[in-house]
Amino acid sequence: MTILNSLNYSPPPPIYNLDNIEGNLYIPQYNNTTRQYETIPQLPPPAELAQVIPMLEKASRLNHTLAMVTLADMYIFGNYSMPTNYPRAEQLYHQATTSGNGHAYFMLGLIYSTGLFGQEIDQERANLYYQFGVENSDMNSILVMAYRNNRGIDMVPNCEIALNYYVHLANLGMDNLLQSQGEFQVDYNIRVSDFNGGLYGEKMSETRSSIEVQSRVYSDLRSQLEEYNINTNDDHEFVNLYFQGLEYLKGDYFTSKNYTVAFEKFDECVKLGDDLYQSNNYKVGNSIDKMFLSSCQSTLAKLYMLGIGTDKDIPKAKSLYELSLKIQPSAETYNDLGMIEQQGLLTQVNTTQAIKHYVQAVKHKSPEGNRNLSLLLLNMTGGSPHKSDYRKEIFSNMKQAAYLGDIQALFHLGNFLQMGLSKYAEPEFEVTCTNTILYYKVFIERLSSFYAPHLKYAFQELIRGNFNNALIGYMIAAEQGFEPAQISTAYLLYQLQPLYSTSATPKKTFTEDRIQLAIRYLERASKQGNDDATVLLGDIYSGSYTETPPILTDYERAFNFYRIASDRHSSHGAYKLGEMYEYGIGPNINNNSVDYFMAKRYYDSSLQFKERLSDNTVVIKSGGRVTGTGNKGGYSKAHISLALLRLRVKYMFNKNAVDEEESGGWLSAFRKVRIRHSLIQEEPERVTEEQIVEQDYDIGDYLVIGLTGMFFLIFFVQNVIRSIRRMRNNRQGNEDDDDNVNPRQNQWNLNFRRGNFEIHFFAL
């Protein structure tokens, strides 16, 4: 395959970058005839490819497995701008399975599971191929079968089998993590819809964004420092150098990592501190200078300790760590000093000193410090935590590290749960197969760069405008249970269309098979807690949009999806449930008649959830990483309040209320409806809750009546007083004054009464 590597081929340049992708990601129309998106023209294949393909075909006929798989992948993915040929790819994969190729089995499972490549969906056949892939040690297949057994996807759920798969996968990931210690990886496990604000856009989407552009985060932090006029030295020089170093050290979706430049930035930051503060023994007066200079020193020390961007220099690293502690102590500095002592990187191993450093790191809320202290205590007892006097500390520190976001701690905590350590350390800690799997699953998701390198491939194809390849890459990860990839896959298959658009671009059309496939991945994402996906499924089945997709309306399924979202405290989902009750739509609504009390209940819940989301809109940090801000999402408070007002007006003036008013008054009708509604409830708790809601509604009704009556009474009294005054003036013979005043006063009274009427009507 050397000739493939030597092809003179450069992929097309990206059409999206950091400056133009946010809010502008456009998925073009999919052409079912060509099986391609109507996108920008691709580059022609390199001339050498005309020589390579016949050679690969010849090798395939000679049963050369690697040639078969390579050629099949080229036909599936269209590598090197090669035209796709799905039937030929499937044929080659089948041929490669004769030699037990795990990747070939996996790709056949993908073909029959998705139906995206011309074959009918056959989940039983897909599971068979995935299982063969597992037996041939294909990691992609193991990920799929672990997820399917855990969630019961097209098979009977089996937690024990899923746990075995996840443990095996976690061991592979842990080995890789230890070998690549110190390398910073960009997490491409994102929802591409978040570039457009989410499935419902920036204002309506409730699910927190998965996009984490480090360069943008650092730029925003610098801007905030300048906005609040924090007076740091040399125009925020320490701040600028520190964040510039982080940008090159960690990289992001659009900024490549450059360890050499990162080292230079941190080194420059440290030298600036030496020039300014070494003469006065590093007595830094400004708190911001102190914080960022100390951070530069500790980060530069880590680069020296791990040999990133420079040669390893442990003495230099320790010297910088100690200097950083002198200026401002930090959790990371204490933890790394503990590692130097524990591993004996400078002198002999000093366990006592290591424990002291780790304890200080734990006091500063260090996830790594908690994990390292737990492992050190475990090693001191020979690796048998059940017999250790420190078993409670071993378990509690590892659990704390996992909760603080440490990746390795997730793996170790899963192992502790399997060992049954929690029974001795924290008997009240509930251990189940499902809970144990959760730690391993999150561990795998945090190491997506190892388990799912196709996510990076999918993103790179996306920003180049090759949406078909991006779809395949995200679909592979979606099959493996990555929730963001499930949303990305669904979004590439189907996007909500605006109700009104001034763009000349025609609205897109979607075939039923692609919408059904999108629904499948939305359902999987919904089961993993994505509220926007849950509400969108309800909207699809309820036909909430002007141009309804070719899916039969199913109010029962729509109602259930909205209810699931509402139970998760989704303001959007609760509002949709309120609408169904208001308009008498849904399976649990008797005879398709409206139920204003249940509608009000869910509108009120929507408003409460909205306020709660607004209060919790804060920056979220996980393991020291800025992961985004909580979205308010859902309908605005004004929109929900208007729905409540509309509901009240409807109830008071609807035909049924008028009919019942003739036989006893509308207040009596209210009570009758409420009594009847309460009697049909089966659960006592729900009856109590309904009574509370009804009492609130009753208070509101009397409040409206009281306010309306008060308006009438006030203005009636005012008019009576004015009339009395006019009569008194007439008796005193002030005819001229009355002639001058009354016309204007009458006119003013007339207008004012018209205003009164408007106020009264609005109050009603």
Alpha-carbon separation of residue 590 from 502, 509, 562, 580, 605 (angstroms): 41, 35, 18, 12, 22
**Could you give the CA distance from residue 370 to residue 401 in angstroms, rounded to a whole number?**
5
Choice among 668-672, 677-681, 760-764 with the minimum mean pLDDT: 760-764
Which one is predicted more confidently, 663 or 378? 378
pLDDT at 752 over 70: no
**Residue 483 pLDDT greater than 80, yes or no:** yes
Give me the mean pLDDT over the 453-457 stretch: 96
Which amino acid is present at 171? Answer: N
Mean pLDDT of 658-669: 51
End-to-end CA distance of the chain: 80
Apex 152 CA angle, 525 and 160, nearest 5: 120
Indicate whether 298 pLDDT > 80. Answer: yes
Cβ neighbors of 585 (< 8 A, separation 6 or more) are 542, 555, 559, 579, 592
pLDDT digit string, tens, across residues 195-228: 999 999 888 999 999 998 877 777 777 777 666 6
Query: Measuring CA to CA, how many Å separate 173 from each of 106, 441, 473, 482?
Result: 20, 11, 20, 16
Cβ proximity of 606 and 574 under 8 Å: yes
DSSP for 215-240, written as a single string:
HHHHHHHHHHHHHTT---TTTTHHHH
- Find all residues with CB under 8 Å of 682, minimum gap 6, and list them: none
Give the 3-state secondary structure of residue 312: coil
How much is the pLDDT for 273?
92
Tokens (6 digits) for 578 = 């309120």
What letter represents residue 506's amino acid?
P
Residue 448 has pLDDT above 60, yes or no: yes
- Tell me the pLDDT tens digit for each residue of 602-622: 999 999 998 887 665 544 333
What pLDDT shows up at residue 235?
Answer: 65
Tell me the mean pLDDT in the region 143-149: 98
Least confident of 6-15, 480-489, 509-518, 738-747: 738-747
Question: Greater confidence, 560 or 720?
Answer: 560
Return the residue matching tokens 């420079």: 310
Q: What are phi and psi of 254, to 5 degrees?
A: -120, -5
High-pLDDT (> 90) share of the chain, % = 55
**pLDDT greater than 60 at residue 660:** no
pLDDT digit string, tens, across residues 345-372: 998 999 999 999 999 999 999 999 999 9
**Which band of pLDDT confidence, cut at 50, 70 and 90, is reported for residue 731?**
low
Mean pLDDT, residues 470-478 taken together: 97
- pLDDT confidence of residue 264: 97
CATH superfamily membership of 2-179: Tetratricopeptide repeat domain (1.25.40.10)
Torsion, Cα of 81, 87, 89, 91 (10° steps): -160
Amino acid at 293: L
Task: Say what angle helices 102-114 and 65-77 make with each other, to 10 degrees.
Answer: 30
Mean pLDDT of 448-462: 96
- Give tens-digit pLDDT for 50-75: 888 999 999 999 999 999 999 999 99
Global confidence as pTM:
0.83
Helix or strand run (H / E) with residue 608:
helix 596-615
The answer to whether the CB of 232 falls within 8 A of the CB of 286 is: yes
Encode burial over 242-277: b for 16+ CB neighbours within 10 A, e otherwise: bbbbbbbbbbbbbbebebeebbbbbbbbbebbeebb
Residue 690 pLDDT > 80, yes or no?
no
Model pLDDT, residue 730: 67
Same fold? 2-179, 192-383: yes
Backbone angles phi, psi at 31, to 5 degrees: -100, 115
pLDDT of residue 50: 85
What span, in angstroms and rounded, lies between the C-alpha atoms of 565 and 559?
10
**Span 464-476, average pLDDT:** 95
192-383 CATH, one of 1.10.510.10, 3.40.50.2300, 3.65.10.10, 1.25.40.10: 1.25.40.10
**Which amino acid, one-letter code, is at 535?**
V
Compute the distance between CA of residue 541 and CA of residue 362 in angstroms, rounded to an integer: 50
Q: Distance of CA 133 to CAs 102, 140, 147, 422, 735, Å?
A: 4, 8, 14, 35, 107
- Work out whether strand 36-37 and strand 625-629 pair parallel, antiparallel, or are unpaired: unpaired
Q: What is the pLDDT of residue 132?
A: 98
| Domain boundary assignment for the chain | 2-179, 192-383, 686-763
**pLDDT per position as a tens digit, 246-268:** 999 999 999 889 999 999 999 99
Spatial CB neighbours of 708, under 8 Å, sequence gap ≥ 6: 760, 763, 764
